């Protein structure tokens, strides 16, 4: 997927389970996204602070140091143009967030990431109008 500013759209995958993180990375890379990875919310915040091009945050809920729901809240406040997709096998979907129940399929991941990009683009257009 190509960003309007040129290059591939950047998705930050945040997942403490290595195999699940690698799977999400593979799915998104094969769909044409550029993927950055973090093993917990604290590492994700560091990446968000230093990498200005992230368009979507794809995060697990249960993680050490900083959980995904707290991370999503911080990201929404500090970087409102970043779409958020939350994935979990145990948590209930939080209100107002895109949500994927684990285990998910490749098509579901790509669909939710694309929907998050579209939502944030529409919000940006409305804000800038």
**Sequence ranges of the domains in the chain:** 10-128
pLDDT of amino acid 70: 94
Show the DSSP H helices in the chain as ranges. Answer: 18-30, 41-50, 68-78, 106-128
Q: Cβ(58)–Cβ(113) under 8 Å? A: yes
User: Between 3.20.20.60, 3.40.50.720, 3.40.50.2300, 3.65.10.10, what CATH number should domain 10-128 receive?
Assistant: 3.40.50.2300
60 dihedral zone (left: phi>0; alpha: psi -120 to 50; beta)? beta
Render pLDDT for 24-81 as a digit per residue (tens, 0 to 9).
999 999 999 999 999 999 999 999 999 989 999 999 999 999 999 999 999 999 999 9
pLDDT band, residue 6 (cuts 50/70/90):
very low
Render pLDDT for 76-106 as a digit per residue (tens, 0 to 9).
999 999 999 999 988 777 777 899 999 999 9
pLDDT of amino acid 7: 59
Neighbours of 26 (CB within 10 A): 12
């Amino acid at each position: 997927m190509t960003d309007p500013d040129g290059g591939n759209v950047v998705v930050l995958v945040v997942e403490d389970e290595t195999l699940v993180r690698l799977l999400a990375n593979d799915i998104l890379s094969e769909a044409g996204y550029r993927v950055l990875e973090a093993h917990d919310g604290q590492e994700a915040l560091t990446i968000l602070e230093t990498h200005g091009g992230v368009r979507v945050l794809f995060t697990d809920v249960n993680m050490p140091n900083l959980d995904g729901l707290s991370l999503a809240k911080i990201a929404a406040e500090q970087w409102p143009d970043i779409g958020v997709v939350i994935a979990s096998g145990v948590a209930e979907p939080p209100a107002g967030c895109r949500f994927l129940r684990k285990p998910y399929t490749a098509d579901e991941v790509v669909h939710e990431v694309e929907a998050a990009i579209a939502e944030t683009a529409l919000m940006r257009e409305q804000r800038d109008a």
